Every structure is written in structure tokens, then in C-alpha cells.
Structure 1
Amino acid sequence: MSSVASVPGTSRGPVTDLLTGGGRARRITWYVVGALVLVSLVRVISGEAALTSSSTMSAALLLAVPIGLAALGGLFSERAGVVNIGLDGMMILGTWGAGFAGYQWGWGAAVLGGLLFGALGGLLHALATVTFGVDHVVSGVAINILAAGLVRFLSELLYSDNPAGGGVTQSPPLSSNPPELSLPVLSSGPDLLGDLERQHWFLVSDLAGVLRGVTSGVGVLTILAVLLVPASYLLLWRTAFGLRLRSCGENPAAADSLGVPVYRMKYIAVIISGALSGLGGVFLVFIAGIYRENQTNGRGFIGLAALIFGNWRPGGLAAGAGLFGFADALQLRSRTAVVALLLLVAVLLAAVAVWQGVRRRAVQAVLAAAFAGAALTGFLMIEELPPGIVSFTPHLTTLLVLSLASQRLRMPKADGLVYRRGEH
């Protein structure tokens, strides 16, 4: 494997990893602390306790998991050089597979059914892009369209006259749900975190609300899904398999010349991508207790946005999924609390304006300052947003975050390129 490490952009030395890893951990810690302080300050100024309440955080974790799983699926595929626009279609297949297996054999079968159907979608995408050289975007769009039509056909075929219930747009209810648990110490015994949260103290109550929300009544599968983030990092950046897979997305010709089975690695990566996206669909079925048509509501595309926001790294995409999950949970919990997000946006844009001014980018600084002023004006003038705008909050957050993060992105060099042995 020493020869494969020479592929450009795929490996670093152990000393460099150690030094940059420590610095990155400190930087992430400061980012988390800064974000919590900022949100706590906005909560105090606006008086909207829902911003950091335990119920909001619990819902945010639950809603972030499907987005994060779709983003993880995109990570495997795109690190191997295959653009996966079909994440939403694979999630749709996963929801139907989970609904079909879950109402007959329970939640364990629902997990397997969602994984299998999502993996089949990934296999189809790999067959089109890797073997037949179809444009990756075209294949992904086709899978999204095909998945929506296929699940409707299967529902009409199997659910229309089903004695267990269901219909052309939904399955019968699941026969069982996965177990839940609360983490020890923080969520057992006296409700210390709940008492602190109800005091509404600056930062302390907010921290208590966050911890209470993410440690109480958490599903076993949710914990496993969260653990998939560090597991994916270790697999892709700390194993020979991961090095080979990433080399296919950086320089497949060089990897091929060093003995890496490029076609096989791409197939494996895209099938894993489909399975993870299907697992994201499984979580949506568990949340509702039933499969419904259009259940993903574009979350596969939001997962793709989280992947891009995270710069094709596991930690970054987890942060993006958490952000979008928080926006989704907040609009479900409180319409007035969404208005408080305008104050948060105003502060962030003001910081961007200052940063761009320091870097002597006058146009960007003026635009950021103007939008910051508009957001602050909206916060001061608006009491409650219309329901249509509130429900669109996660998508608006997606657009805003991507526009702010677009300057620092670095995708895999061979991502989206059709590779043919001997042509490069």
C-alpha cells in the first residue's frame, strides 16, 4: 500500500495528521462553543425559549439523522468519483422498502428492507455511470424520477386491496418500532437538566436544554446512525480500503496503474451510498410509523447540500445535517421562534461583512451588510411569519448556508468524470 499513498491528494504523513488533527479538534470546539453562545444570546434577546429547548433539540436530532445518512451516502459515492444526484430517489426506495417489510415483520425487517431497496438504487446508478458511462447527473435525475414512479406502482399493486390497510399513497402501519433509551447519569434519576432548563439562565439553561434533548428517549438506531459518522471517517481516512476508494475519486488513472480495482471500488462505493440513503428513508418511516408517498420531501437534496457544505468531510456534513435538522425542527415547534432566526442571520451576516471588509472585498462586504440590515429589520418588524414561509425554512437555510460556504469548497478532483481504462 505504500505505492498507493503516492496518489496525489489521497494521503498525508502521520505527523501531519497528528498536528492538524489536534488543531482541527480545538477549532471545532471553539466553533461549537461560539455557536452555543450566539444562539443563547439570541434566545435571551428574543425571548424565544424554543430556540434551545430540549423538545426542539430532540426533534432536531431525529430530523437530522435522515439528512445526515443521505449526506454520508453521497460522501462514499463522490469520494469514489461518482456524483450522486439520485440520493433522494434512493431515500424514496428506502422508505417504501421499510414500509413494506416493517408492517409484515417488524422494525428489524424494516431496516433490512430499506437498506436493500436503497442499495438496489445505488446498484442501478453504478451500472449506468461506471459500466455504461452515462453522465452522472443524468443518471441521478433519472433515478429520482424512476423511484417515484416505481413506488407508486408497487403501492397500487400491493396496498390497494390489502386487508391490513394502506392504499396507493401509504402502507399499513408498522407492526413494531425500535426501542428507545436514555443515556445514564445525564438523563436518569432527578431531572437536573430539566430544572436548569426551566430557569432560563444565559448559556447554562441553553446547554442543559441541548444535553437533555439529545440524551433522553433516544432511539437505539439513532445512536448507531450518529456513530456512523466517526466510523465513516475511520474507514475512509484510516484504512487501506478507504485510501483506495478515495484515490479513485482523485486520480483513477494513477490508482489503476498501481493495481487498485477502480471499477470495483466505484461499484462498492455507490452501492454503499444507496444503502445509507435507504437507511435515511427508514428513519423517516420510523418517525411517522408508516410509509407515505413523497415522505422524503426533498431531504435527499438537502443531504447533498449538507455534503457540499461539509466540504466532502464526515464532520462537516454532520454539522450541516444538524443545522438543517434544527431549522426543520424549529419550524415545526414554533412559528414565532423562526422569526428569531432573522436576528441570528443578521449577526452572522454582520460578521461576514466585517470579515470581507478586513479582506478588502468592498462589494461582498456591502452586500453582506445590506442583507444583515434587512434581516434585522425583519426581526424588529415581523411578529409571526406566514405558514408557507415557515415550512420553507429548511430550504431557505440550505440556500443561505451554501452561498456563504461556496468560497472554500474543494471537491474530489475526478468527481463526476467518466473513467475509461487507457483513455487518460
Structure 2
Amino acid sequence: MTQRIKTSIALVMALLMGLFAVSISPGHTYASVDVGAESAILVDAETGKILFEKEADLTLPPASMTKMMTEYLVMEAIEEGQISWDTTTKISQYAFDISANPEFSGVGLKLDEEYTVRELYEAMAINSDNATTIALAELIAGSEGEFVTMMNEKAAELGLPDYEFVNASGLDNAHLGGNHPEGTEPDDVNMLSARSAALLAYHLTNDYPEALEISSQPTLEFGGQTVMNWNWMLPGMPGDSLEQFSYEGMDGLKTGYTELAQNTFTGTAERDGQRFISVVMKSESRASRFEQTRTLLDYGFENFSQKELFAAGETPEDQSTLTVAKGKEDEVAVETAEALRTIVKNGEEDQYEIEFNISDDQLDEEGNLVAPVEKGQTVGTATLIYNGEEDYGNILSDGGQSVDIITSSAVEKSNWFMLMMGAVGEFFTDIFTGAVDMVKGWF
């Protein structure tokens, strides 16, 4: 065999071994999804289950993705009756100065004009307008400084793990012309992890679905002009040059760009009732953030679907009954109150099992239910347990899918005579057992 042939065989073997190593690596994330952004995550929008992540806990500047928190607080203020979509307001000199700056996204606000909350919100959500965002913050909280306090308090309430909000718009404080919010520093920057951005998007889309009706609009008529959505992946975007980015089912959510943050995007799309949320942060170009989002969403739609894994009424064989004290029956059957379903990767249905957890407060000291027991009485929770190798967790703190465990039938309390006879029987049994033990001790 010639040296050249030996070298060629060695190279082929090395290549095959490399490919094989990639395919069997326990954390196949980078092999199955190639995302160039510095940080990224893909999440099921119904359960919060993480399907992919890359450096998702890095805290980075989110740029205008910050506005998702402003959107949430505006929606909340409307829900609570503090403002309405028809509430009107004028803008401050600070907001006007930001609007007049050609370096920032803007619809061209006027100082002496009244704007409705809907007009301001749509400009913020569709065109990523910074000045309208500031105007909404000032309307709700009185000042942007007070609104920033609300943003951070809401982030803690929603359970965001990594965040620091310093203004409502997502601009760097250094860009605000000396108008940085009270309580923040002139050089402060909003910070957020991809995990936190995904969780914020999860709450916004689930708590206020109307946000998607607005973010899905490709264009907006404002002040006699047509302004475009920065989300090029929306179907129906004007211009032939953007057709290449169109993505079926895309309806949100928020782009972002600053020099420090580079290009960021929180995207979400729904097909046939299945919705995913993706986040890419610090992508090298506007186009690349959409290409990487497409890669993430394609991975989700092509490889995962919602499945019912266990029907209502199912129980593990060794936990199908509970013993009952002081009842006419000694035990009662238990079952799941509802079906257990979750997002499942293709071919992994058999990687799940049910775990039963009976509530201690339902049992006596001996671990029995105490009669009377009602039919359908909740006695604990059943949780889905995943036994596969690729478990990336959940963005929700209580993210395990669980349902109630209930009793299948009722057990009446035994009458006083039977309870007394049982107690007498136990008394003599204890005496007999004690006597036997004593006699055994003699020998």
C-alpha cells in the first residue's frame, strides 16, 4: 500500500470518527442547531420547556428588546383600568428631543399634539419608536425614573433570572442627551440574558395575546406616513428584497440594535396551534439575526410537537391505591385527574414516566387517608419525568408538567361500633404481641 493511500485512508477515518463523535455527543446542541449569535435560546411557548440553548445565561445589552417590558407594563395598566387605549397625552421636551434625533427609530412626534395610548404603543411595538416608549413610561409612572423602578419590580415578580433595566426604550443612557432616568447613571446600559428575554416574551404573549395582534402588523400609518416594522420575517412585508426573510406563522415580537448590543431579536411563530419563542443576542448583522431565528424555529417545528403521553385516569402500577384508616373499605383507588401532555421530540415518547407525589397533609401519621374520603378528592400531584439525555430545563420555576391526583371513589367512615371493635381488636393484638415477645425473651 502506498504512503499516499495510507494517508488518504487515515484522513477519511479521522473525518468519520469526528462526525461520529459529534452525533453521539450527549449535548448535541451545537451539532443539531448551528447558531452564530453569541447567545440564543428556543422555548416552547405553552409549557416553557427549553428545546435549545447556547450561552443563554450571558447577560448582554438587549437594545430595543427592552421595550417588551414596557409593552407588558402598558398592557397591565390598561387591564387594571389605570389608562385605556383611548387615553390621550402630550409628549415631553425630552421625548420630543429623542424623536427629533435622526439616529434613532422614530415616527416624528410633535410637541403640541395629543396622542392616544394606542398610537404610541403601536409606534413602539411596530416601528420600535423610542420617543413614544418614553411618553408611555411618563404617562404611566409620572417619570421615566419611576417607570424604571416598576420595570425592575415586575422583572422580579415574573421571575426573570438576569436583568437590569435602566430606561424604558433600550437605548444606552449615554444616548439620552443627559436625560438618563433618575436613580440611574449616565453611562448605564440595560442588561438581559437570552433566558430572561424568553421568559419575558413568554409572559407577554401568554398574559396579553393582544400584543401579538399589534406586533404582527408589517406597516403602520402614523401622522400621514407609512412606517415599517423592523421584523423582516413577518409575512406580507413590503418590498421584494424582504421576501427572502418571510416566515410562515411569524407574528412577533421585538428586534433591537445598538452599537454595543449589536443585533438582537426575540421572535415567535405559531403553526397548527404550536408556538415557539426564540431569542438571539449579539448577532453580527440585521440579516443574520433573522437567518439564525429561522434556524431555531425550523428546528422546533421539524423536531417537536405537543403530545398526550398519559391519559386521564392513569396510575403507576405500584401506586394505584392508598390505604384508608377508619373507613368501611381499607383502601381506595387513585388516578390522574387530567391527561398529561407536553412538547416532545420526535421518537422520544417512551422517555417519559409519571411520578406520583401524595400530599403529606392528606395523610395521618401512619401514611393513611382518613375516612370519610370523597370521590374526586385531590390527594397529590402527578408529574411528568423525562429520562432522556437532552434535558435543558424550563424557563419557569415550576416548569414540570403536573396534574392533580384524585380518588376514584368515595369511602364512608365506619360506624362507631365497628371503629370500637377495631380499636378493641388492636388493643388485644398489641397485648398478645407483647406477651409473645416477652415469652420469647425467656428463652
Q: TM-score range by the shorter chain?
A: under 0.3
After TM superposition, the score normalised by the length of structure 2 is 0.22
After TM superposition, the score normalised by the length of structure 1 is 0.23
Q: Higher strand proportion, which one?
A: 2
Higher relative contact order (CA 8 A, sep 6+): 1
Q: Higher helix proportion, which one?
A: 1
Larger gyration radius, structure 1 or structure 2: 2
